[in-house]
Amino acid sequence: MTTMRLVFVGGGISYRALFNWIHPAMYVPTMLLGPIFQILFFVYLGRYNGLQSDSFFVVGNAVQMSGMAGVFASTMSIANERQFGTLAPLLATPAARLPIFVGRMLPVAANGLVVSAFGFCIGSLLLGFRPPLSSIPALALVVVVSVFSCTAFGFTLGSFGMRARDVFLISNLAYYVMWLFCGVNVPLSALPGWMATIGRGLPFTHGIAAARALAVGASLGSVSGQVLKELAIGSVYLIVAFGLFRAFEVEGRRRASLETY
């Protein structure tokens, strides 16, 4: 029971405290309106050039939209604890670290799912995106796995916030690198070999490929390899993130530098 309270209650309170600036006047333009224009821009650019179908761009951008929450919010969930002066009191508690860590991850992932689902709805309402009804549960599963992978990647970056002076430059760079390298708007096969290789080790790449196949009628079994790769990548990033979190905590205690820059 204590563990569950740490995960859900503690994580929820932390999210509200760290992101208390999020209200409709800020959330809607930042998290929803911007991504709408992102989808529309690339769909109409694709139509003009005749390179890919609308579905290609809708799926790629709707999945990638969750990266705004997965990368930036994940980074802030740890880095802001230090910036706001609450990291040392948090780590002074005897609470298990894993529930604390997971508790900060779940609200971020939930936000990413909402944003991604909104992107698919916009694609359906404004652009006529109509995947087969039978593929929607599998498509939802792929989005969940992709959001998990991106959130874990974001927490890996955020863990450096326990030592680095500025992780927001890194998170901005990582967000746009993922946009370019993960096949969001350009097929992986069209990228230079070195870019495609890097992309295959980043979140979203395999999830987007699986979602695109499902959107045109493929079965979940036919894309299971891509889904498992996406899940494996996310799991690796999550392990690395928690390992960095613990390592920097131990170092910060030893050097009395948890809140110094």
The residues, any chain, with a CB within 8 Å of residue 17's CB and separated by 6 or more, are 86
Torsion of CA 232, 238, 240, 246, to 10 degrees: -160
Query: Domain ranges in the chain?
Result: 2-255
DSSP one-letter string for 39-68: HHHHHHHHHHHT-S-HHHHHHHHHHHTTHI
Residue 193 in tokens: 């070999």
Neighbour count for residue 169 (Cβ, 10 Å): 10
**Distance, CA of 66 to CA of 118 (rounded, Å):** 10
Per-residue pLDDT tens digits of the chain, which is 261 residues long = 677 877 777 778 777 777 766 677 777 887 888 888 889 999 999 888 888 889 999 999 999 988 888 888 888 887 777 777 777 777 777 778 888 888 888 888 888 999 999 999 999 999 989 999 999 999 999 999 999 999 999 989 888 877 777 777 888 888 888 889 999 999 998 999 999 999 999 999 999 999 999 999 899 999 999 999 999 999 999 999 999 988 888 887 777 666 665
List of residues 6+ apart from 154 with CB closer than 8 A: 70, 71, 72, 73, 74, 75, 108, 171
